[in-house]
Structure 1
Amino acid sequence: MSTHKLPGYRATLRTAKRLAEEAVPVVERAVPGKMPDVQIILATGRGMAELVTAAEVETAGDVDKWVQARALRAAKRAADDVAGRTVPLADGGVLVVINVEQHPNEAVFATTLVHELVHAMQLSRKGVRDRIVSGLRNDLGVERLSRRQNRECERCLEQEEREAYSREYLARSVVPSAA
C-alpha cells in the first residue's frame, strides 16, 4: 500500500493499511476466487486518473499517444465522482486506486475497499481477466470487438458490479460503524 502525490496523509495511510489487513481475509472467505497480488494506492481524484490511465495503457499494449491523451482527459473529468477503481496489471496483478477525497471516515473507506477487493477477486476467475483486457483494448482502439462481444462484455461488467455492491455489507465486519 502506498500513496501517489499525497503529501501529509501519513495517518490516513496507516488507517488504510490496518483496514486492508482486516478486509482482505474477510473478502477472501466470502467471494469465490483467489486473491491476486493487489497493489493499493491512495490518491486524489487527479492522481487516480493518472494512475488508472497509465495502468490501462500498459495493460492494453500498443496504444496511440493521441488515444492515451484522450483517455487521460476523460478519466480526469470523471475522477471527482469516482471513489475507487480496480485495474488489471500487465504482470498479472491488480491495481486498486482509492480516491481519498471521497472518504470522510473509516466506514466509507472500508466499504469502498471491500467493493474494490471484490473486483480484484473477480479478476482471478477463469476468463474474466482476458475479457476485461479485451474490452479495454476495444475502448482504447487497439483491437476492436464485434457488437455482440461488446454487449457481452458490458453485461458481464454490470453483473460483476452488482456482485461487488451486494458484498459491501462485509465492511461491517471490518469497521462496525460501516452499517
Structure 2
Amino acid sequence: MFTFVRSPGRQHQATLDRVHAAADTATRIVEQQMRGRVGPVDLAVASSSGMWDLVADAHRPMFGRQDPRVWQHDLHAYGTTTITATGVLVVINAQACRGRQDEIDKTLLHELTHALQFNRSGARPLIESSIANNYGIAPMTEREVAAANRQVDADERDAARMERHHRQLAQSI
C-alpha cells in the first residue's frame, strides 16, 4: 500500500523506524474511523526544508512548477499531504517530530486522514484548482477560494480529531 519515496539522514532514524512500524496500523484505524479508503500513498520522512522540496517535486509533472517557497510557510509543521500525478504524497517532518513517538503517531493519523479525504470522489478537482491558484497558474474567484477554504477547514477538523487515536495506534504496534 505504501511506497516510501525518501528518507532523511541517520539522525532521524527513530522517526523513520516508527513511521515504518506504524503506517499500516494507522491506515486501518483511519479507514475504520472515517469509513473510507486511504488508497495508495507515497510516504516520505524528510527534514523541514526537504518536506517542501518533496511537495514542489510532486507538483512539477502536474503544474510545471517546482518552487518550494510557495509552500514553505511553516518549517515547523509536523507533516503535510498533497496530491501527485499518480495519487497522494504524505510527508512526515522528522525534525519537527524529533523521534517523539506520540507526535509521529498523531502526525501519521492526521496526514493519512488527509490522504483518505483527497481520495474521495470529487475531491481531486478542488485540490488541483487550489494548487493551480497558489502557483498563480489559474486564479480562482473569491467565491471559489471561500468554498475551498471551507473544505480545508472541515478536512483539518476531521484530521485533528483523528489524532486522538494515537494511544490506540501505540498499543496496536
Q: TM-score range by the shorter chain?
A: 0.7 to 0.9
Moved more, 27-36 or 80-89: 27-36
Q: How does 1:68-107 map to 2 (within 5 A)?
A: 68-69=66-67, 72-76=68-72, 78-91=73-86, 93-104=87-98, 105-107=100-102
1:15 aligns with 2:32: no
State the shift of 1:74 in Å: 4.3
Q: 1:62 to 1:9 in 2, by over 3 A?
A: closer
In 1, distance between residues paired with 2:48 and 2:21? 22
What is the TM-score normalised by the length of structure 1? 0.85
Q: Give the alignment partner of residue 43 of structure 2, picking from 33, 40, 47.
A: 40
1:44 CA displacement: 0.5
Are 2:114 and 1:119 aligned?
A: yes
- Cα distance change of structure 1 residues 160 and 37 upon mapping to structure 2, 3 Å threshold: same
Contact 1:48 1:79 in 2 (8 A): no
8 Å Cα contact 1:86-1:96 kept in structure 2:
yes
Give the length in aligned residue pairs.
Answer: 167
CA separation in 1, counterparts of 2:110 and 2:55? Answer: 17
The match for 2:56 among 39, 53, 57 is 53
Hey, which bits of structure 1, 4+ residues long, moved more than 6 A? Answer: none
Q: What's 2:34 paired with?
A: 31
Task: Indicate if the aligned counterparts of 2:43 and 2:91 stay in contact, CA closer than 8 A.
Answer: yes
Q: Taking structure 2 as the reference length, what is the TM-score of the superposition?
A: 0.87
Q: Which residue of 2 aligns with 1:160?
A: 155
In structure 1, stretches of 5+ residues that fail to align are: none
In structure 2, the CA distance between the partners of 1:82 and 1:9, relative to structure 1 (3 Å rule), is closer
How big is the shift at 1:56? 2.7
2:64 and 2:69 mapped to 1: Cα distance? Answer: 19
> 1:22 is paired with a residue of what secondary structure?
helix
| Sequence identity percentage | 29
Letter in 1 for 2:165: L
Is the 8 Å Cα contact of residues 38 and 113 (structure 2) preserved in structure 1?
Answer: no
Q: Is this contact kept in 2: 1:33–1:124, CA < 8 A?
A: no
Whether 1:139 and 2:95 are equivalent positions in the alignment is: no
Structure 2 distance, partners of 1:122, 1:98, is 17
